[in-house]
Amino acid sequence: MIDGLYWESHGAGPPLILSAGLGGSGNYWLPNLPALAAHHRVILYDHRGTGRSDRALPDTVTVEQMGDDILALIDGLDLGKATIIGHAAGAVAGLAAALKAPERIDRLVLVNGWSRPDPHFARCFDARLALLRNSGPRAYLEAQPIFLFPANWLSEHHDQLVAETEQHLAHFAGAEAYERRIAALRAFDIDAQLSQISAPTLALAAEDDMLVPSNCSRHLAEGIRGAKLAMMGWGGHGCNVTDPETFERHVLDFLGS
């Protein structure tokens, strides 16, 4: 543990920290671990308040605090600087870290991320919170894949998703943790500071993401000086899970691996 954060290290080479989305679990990246760890020292970690990390959260959670946890890993592991691949919540945490300590961020890969609140993902968060508040954790988790994955992929992987729901339920972080983390994501707005991001950046999105509109990634690429944009035509919000080969090709090409 580093500052209450559970972490794992895989492979060898330039350091690469993978930061997951709302669920916060480092295990989210397991489909991509072999390809990335073949070229890099990959650090997986569970976000504070989730998984195997410290479950205690302050009354008010901010994305800046999530970014501080990334910097704590860089310092605690004596990495000097690292590349950050962040998915959704992990992407905005990476942006916060890059604004606070640009000298410690080598590169940024922002997967289905954003720089300002968007009315569509706010609507999705409202629907998910209503399920959690009114129907409980099981209903919330059973509905979660609908927001993350394309319909055909959902159908083809039904049994796998049923099993994963039971696993997620057994390790559920608690309603308060999700309430606080979602509030942090909805409040995040660095749109006026995008031009201050100095790390080489790849904004990567799936056109059919039904949770975070792909235009949010286009906006990131337009606002960050020198940023590159990679669009996957298919894959949904969890495009690194549904189409890992295409995802990894984009990432490794950008990293020069």
Q: Is the pLDDT of residue 257 over 90?
A: no
Provide mean pLDDT across the span 197-218. Answer: 97
Query: Domains of the chain, with CATH numbers?
Result: 7-255 (3.40.50.1820)
Mean pLDDT, the chain, as a whole number?
Answer: 96
Supply the pLDDT for residue 111. Answer: 98
Supply the pLDDT for residue 253. Answer: 97
Supply the pLDDT for residue 103. Answer: 97
pLDDT band at 164 (very low <50, low <70, confident <90, very high): very high
pTM of the model: 0.95
DSSP state at residue 203 = E
Cα distance between residue 1 and residue 58, in whole Å: 19
